[in-house]
């Protein structure tokens, strides 16, 4: 049964057998893993994963693909969760959880932030994403790719770009290059942020006008004197600070709010 890729679901199906083998080798699944695949599609990763695992959980929104999943795979080896991955509650699955998937590029950032909320339940994640997004995720401060996404993920995860994947590895071929990224959550006691909502607000404000300096973007949030006391130059721009500097800023603000 053939399947027509659906643009509304951002479907591009991986067909390169060598790339598939490289991804499975990087994931290194073992039988007892609690593994969740996001958007199994036509089964490029599903088939080899099932060979290694006792059970594979999958989340799929496309009803046609769900029908294929029910007919093509032994139902004692696969657990199908029908619905939107953006709304899926990961706490419903056994932990620690490993997550893999070729994420729809049109909603990749919202998906990453959604999964980040469950980081305490996750051992690791391996995702296929647009290469530009992966470069932003792993970028170092003061580089052109470094931005809000970099900061918001780097404080929670160890990030590593593993593989480049060219457009011709897919059907239909996307117009962009892709890459595989590994994400490993930091232990909760290593996350140095007191108030994550406040941290996110500070980062959003700093990058809201990224060509302006911190003394302008953070005006009304923290004073130049406080930045100086934190050894942060108020003449720098948002992309010049790493997540640890943003943690210092938000933690100082948080401590003062507690004292009020």
Q: Please, which pLDDT band fits residue 92 given cuts at 50, 70 and 90? A: very high
Integer Cα distance of 3 and 69 in angstroms = 12
Average pLDDT across the chain, whole number = 92
Q: Summarize the confidence of residues 6-23 as an average pLDDT.
A: 77
Integer Cα distance of 32 and 103 in angstroms = 24
Integer Cα distance of 25 and 34 in angstroms = 17
pLDDT at 11: 55
Q: What DSSP letter does each residue of 40-58 carry, written as one string?
A: -TTSTTHHHHHHH-S-EEE
Domain 7-190 CATH (choose: 3.40.50.150, 3.40.1280.10, 3.30.930.10, 3.30.1490.20):
3.40.50.150
Of the candidates 87, 84, 116, which has an alpha carbon nearest to the alpha carbon of residue 99? 116
Q: Are 236 and 214 within 8 A, CB to CB?
A: yes
CATH 1.10.8.100, the chain: domain bounds: 196-259
Q: Are 36 and 97 within 8 A, CB to CB?
A: yes
Task: List, for residues 143-180, the tens digit of each pLDDT value.
Answer: 999 999 999 999 999 999 999 999 999 988 888 999 99
pTM: 0.91
Q: What is the maximal distance between C-alpha atoms in the chain?
A: 66
Q: Count of alpha carbons within 13 Å of 74, Cβ hemisphere only?
A: 9
Task: List, for residues 204-228, the tens digit of each pLDDT value.
Answer: 999 999 899 999 999 999 999 999 9
CATH 3.40.50.150, the chain: domain bounds: 7-190
* pLDDT at residue 184 greater than cutoff 70: yes
Which is the CATH superfamily of the domain at 196-259? rRNA adenine dimethylase, C-terminal domain (1.10.8.100)
């Amino acid at each position: 049964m053939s399947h027509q890729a659906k643009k509304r679901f951002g479907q591009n199906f991986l067909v390169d057998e060598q790339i598939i083998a490289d991804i499975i080798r990087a994931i290194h699944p073992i039988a007892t893993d609690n593994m969740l695949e996001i958007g199994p599609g036509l089964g490029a990763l599903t088939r080899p994963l099932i060979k290694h695992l006792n059970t594979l959980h999958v989340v799929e929104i496309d009803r046609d693909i769900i029908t294929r999943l029910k007919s093509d795979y032994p139902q004692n080896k696969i657990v199908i969760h029908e619905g939107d991955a953006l709304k899926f509650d990961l706490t419903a699955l056994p932990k620690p959880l490993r997550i893999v998937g070729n994420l729809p590029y049109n909603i990749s950032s919202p998906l990453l932030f959604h999964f980040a909320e469950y980081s305490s339940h996750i051992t690791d994640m391996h995702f296929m994403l647009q290469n530009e997004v992966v470069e932003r995720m792993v970028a170092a401060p003061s580089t052109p790719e470094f931005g809000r996404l970099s900061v918001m993920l780097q404080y929670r995860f160890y990030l590593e770009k593993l593989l480049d994947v060219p457009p011709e590895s897919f059907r239909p071929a996307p117009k962009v290059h892709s890459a595989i990224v590994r994400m490993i959550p930091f232990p909760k006691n290593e996350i140095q942020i007191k108030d994550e909502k406040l941290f996110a607000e500070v980062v959003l404000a700093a990058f809201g006008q990224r060509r302006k300096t911190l003394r302008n973007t953070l005006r009304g949030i923290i004073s130049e004197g406080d930045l100086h006391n934190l050894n942060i130059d108020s003449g720098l721009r948002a992309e010049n600070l790493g997540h640890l500097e943003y943690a210092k800023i938000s933690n100082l603000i948080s401590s003062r709010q507690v004292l009020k």
